[in-house]
Structure 1
Amino acid sequence: MESGKFCPPLYLQRYQFVIDFVNKYNPKKLADLGCADCSLLRKLKFHRCIELLAGVDIDSVALREKMYTLAPLSCDYLQPSDRPLTIKLYEGSVLEKESHIKGFDLVTCIELIEHLQLPEIGKFSEVLFGYMSPAAVIVSTPNAEFNALLPGLTGFRHQDHKFEWTQAEFQKWALDVCRSHGYAVEFTGVGEAPFSTENRGFCTQIAVFHKTFGSDKQLGTDPEEELHAYKLVYDVEYPSLCDHKIFRNILVNEVIYCAGTIKTRLLESSEDKETLPHVCLASINTSGSKEPLLMDMGTDNEPYLEGNAIYIPLAKLLSFPKVHRLCKSLLRLKEVLLETSQVTLSSDAESLQLLADSVDGCDLEDWEGCGDAENNETSGSSAAYEEDWDEELLRQSFQS
């Protein structure tokens, strides 16, 4: 903590805790309950392990105001991921059962439970751990014992908080959940004081639950019909190479670009257009990167001239690293190119055919250098609304 305030801000420390967990366990399906302005979801969408990202909040205004910040960026279309990603936002209460959120790999509840009435906690526990039954759960909540260290704070940290638990109260609830629903729990937190706090713990206390072996019987044997209490307010599927049409377009464009590169180099190096000499392209890299333009796949597949046409063996095209990353086998490359009218193959479908006196290929510069997508997202978040004292009240030093 610097100058009497958390650095980085406490809400970012909570988000980083979740991100570190995701990096370690690679969940494919993740739901954020109480997602509010979707600021955590915007950070999580860049993690390639996640294939389904769901957010739930009872405040439809907050969801609708920020939902389009989860839309794909331009570079997501220009450079589709090799894995699918679907993002869904639901309007609904965490006290209601919803079949679409059952069986996720990870559910996060970041600063959520303190907004519920104490008598509702039992129902919340039953819905989350009993019905949804995720493989792992992260729950964070204010540590009431730390409040005395926060300058200027009287009462709860936010006007909408219905309670704030001590460490003992939080741990009792968590251990009761484990006994009732078959989970194990670890306690930790974020936000440390810069001096001894007499075991007051973290400013934000966190419980990490993992479902124990053999405790998922409810998912397989629950005869209860599917329940749909939530309203879907946003649903977007990101472009990915798992979509065959997208995969084909990306591959064909890359092939056209590589073929154009080969043709240009051959024509530039030839003084006699009827006899095209062998050209070593391994040292030529038009992208400017350190990656070799061609992979070493032998020298028996060189381009050749026949009449007014240049024939480039598909094996030569497959030797380009980007083409090879997209399409691992010659057979697969041939199958995809036969599907499109954008290129012409030889009669035996072993080579790509280009006219020597025409302009072929396409400029794919726009497909390069999209940059760090996460850094392009709109900055700013209302996630810190509960902790105005992070910036205002903590300017006093704890030592003063």
Structure 2
Amino acid sequence: MAGSHSVKSEKLEENEGELGGPMFSPPLYRQRYDVVCDIVRKMEARKVVDMGCASGKLLWHLKWIDCIEELAGVDVDVTQLQGNSHILCPLTTDYLMPRKKPLNICLFEGSIGSADSRLYDWDIVCCVEVIEHLHTGTLALVPHALFHQLQPKVVIVTTPNSEFNILFSNFRDFRHWDHKFEWTRDEFRSWADGIASEFNYSVEYSGVGEGPPGSLDKLGWCTQIAVFTRLHIDSECAQCIEENLQPYRCIKEISHPHQLQTPHTTLQQLNDELTYYCHFLADIDCGTETDEEDAERVTHTVCIRLERLMKFGRIKELCPDLDELRSCIRQTEQFHLSPDGDSVLYTHILMSSSNGWNVDDDDGGESDVVDDYQVDNERRVENWNQTITTSPKETTETWD
């Protein structure tokens, strides 16, 4: 592919101690990701592109942000795109507790030096530690392809600050063997200012990775960041880019489950939540099997205290207090209150052990699972997802 570049994940991961310089907490790559995620949340971006996505780690962090509905990752390395796509797929819990909004992810084989009409006018394009890997010819194509043809509302570019390298005792040439260059702050600003002026963008500068006390003014940040904001859109270019310009090849499409588009009433939502959580708590209290012989399934009534249900953030969001919860339950057909009004009566089903169910396969008792749920969580199991799903392997500092 003409003008392409390859940014492989094995190229990106380095031991933080190898350069013999400052140690960052959080690690530098996390600080860069946090900057991107903060901007996404602040502007409530719906459509975000990660150029040079490689291992997909930034996309993995972005997919948990509720406002995002479309994510695209672009890289020339098909092996990386195919091999790491699994980390972006929905989990079992995503089907049990779907997002409020749709989330579609597409991974493209393509070069940052060319534009694809499917990514025109997106909210944010991220170029996190990418430009320093580009050959001169490809780098020269980036401004026209990205800022003139694609015209995203915001472009985030991060790159190493070469002035900071003096703090690395083991430093030689560049921070990474695949870097083609590393710019000073003035060089980076000259490049970014020229783009902003030519293509009707404003630009603001910042950075992450602060050195020893007193070094910031003299050396700057370890990673320098430029955030471009579009001032207005070029309508003539819009007509050109929409004419089926699609040089990228879609490698993988991933759709996450989401809630029904037709709004539920509060009562319908509560009925769904009660069904889920009553079943969840009944499994913890009673297990999932019966020891009765010749019985495929046994049903019995379980009393679940309302105070216990109110620990779950989603139920508390729908019914802020016990009195309102009682009132809503009385209006449902599926659930009934106990005579004292302090518990909900739930019909629980136990399956015969001969059906192959194994209670020992459960995740554990209520204390473990409920703690993981973090009951005031907006998505109910966001923290549970984070507990049972480890972030893509991030055991070493990622400089690039």
TM > 0.5: yes
* TM-superposed deviation, 1:17: 1.2
The structure-2 alpha-carbon separation of the partners of 1:223 and 1:31, relative to structure 1 and needing over 3 Å to count, comes to closer
Residue of 73, 86, 92 corresponding to 2:110: 92
1:284 corresponds to which of 301, 306, 327: 306
Aligned with 1:14 (options 18, 23, 32): 32
Counterpart Cα distance in 1 of 2:71 and 2:262: 22
CA drift of 1:289 comes to 1.7
Is the Cα–Cα contact under 8 Å of residues 257 and 361 in structure 1 kept in the other structure? no
Any idea what SS the aligned residue of 2:394 has?
Answer: coil
Unaligned runs of 5+ in 2: 1-15, 280-302, 338-344, 351-364, 374-380
Is 1:242–2:232 an aligned residue pair? no
The alpha-carbon deviation at position 180 of structure 1 amounts to 1.3
The match for 1:374 is 386
Matched, 1:206 2:225: yes
Q: Which residue of 2 aligns with 1:117?
A: 135
- Give the RMSD, CA atoms, in angstroms: 3.9
Residue identity matched to 1:120? T
The 3-state SS of whatever aligns with 2:211 is coil
Match of residue 164, structure 2, among 146, 160, 172:
146
| Distance in 1 separating the partners of 2:349 and 2:273 | 9
Is structure 2 residue 45 aligned with structure 1 residue 27?
A: yes
What whole-Å deviation, never above 9, does each CA across 1:54-85 have from its counterpart, x for those lacking one? 11111111111111011111211111111111
* 1:34-183 correspondence to structure 2 within 5 Å: 34-183=52-201
Task: Find the aligned partners of 1:144 and 1:302 in 2 and give their Cα distance.
Answer: 64
Is residue 11–residue 383 contact of structure 1 (8 Å, CA) maintained in 2? no
Q: Which has the larger radius of gyration?
A: 1
Unaligned runs of 5+ in 1: 261-280, 304-312, 320-355, 388-400
Alpha-carbon distance in 1 for matches of 2:175, 2:136: 17
Query: Counterpart of 1:199 in 2: which secondary structure?
Result: helix
Aligned residue number for residue 3 of structure 2: none
Identity of aligned residues (%): 35
Shift of the 316–125 alpha-carbon distance from structure 1 to 2, 3 Å rule, reads same
Please give the TM-score of this superposition, normalised by the length of structure 2.
0.68
1:122-146 deviations in whole A, cap 9, x for unaligned?
2111111111110001000111111
The Cα of 1:251 is off from its aligned counterpart by 7.8
* Mapped partners of 2:131, 2:395: distance in 1: 18
Amino acid at match of 2:218: N
Q: Quick one: distance in 1 between partners of 2:74 and 2:54?
A: 8
- Following the alignment from structure 1 to structure 2, what is the Cα–Cα distance between the partners of residues 122 and 53? 26
Return the alpha-carbon distance in structure 1 between the equivalents of residues 130 and 277 of structure 2. Answer: 52
Q: Summarize the Cα distance change of 1:384–1:230 in structure 2 as closer, same or farther, 3 Å threshold.
A: farther
Letter in 2 for 1:184: S
1:126/1:220 Cα in 2 relative to 1: closer, same or farther (>3 Å)? closer
Asked if the contact 1:34–1:55 (Cα under 8 Å) also holds between the matched residues in 2, the reply is yes
Q: What is the identity, as a one-letter code, of the residue corresponding to 1:81?
A: R
Structure 1 position 285, deviation (Å): 4.0
What is the distance in 1 between the residues matched to 2:95 and 2:248? 30
Give the number of aligned pairs. 316
* Cα distance between partner residues in 1 of 2:396 and 2:247: 26
Secondary structure of 2:118's aligned partner: helix
Q: Using a 3 Å threshold, how does the CA distance of structure 1 residues 362 and 26 change in structure 2: closer, same or farther? A: farther
- Taking the aligned partners of 1:94 and 1:58, their CA distance within structure 2 comes to 9
Contact kept in structure 1, 2:22 and 2:167, CA below 8 Å:
no
8 A Cα contact 2:56 2:73, kept in partner: yes
Matched letter for residue 115 of structure 2? K
CA contact (8 A) 2:117 2:241 kept: no
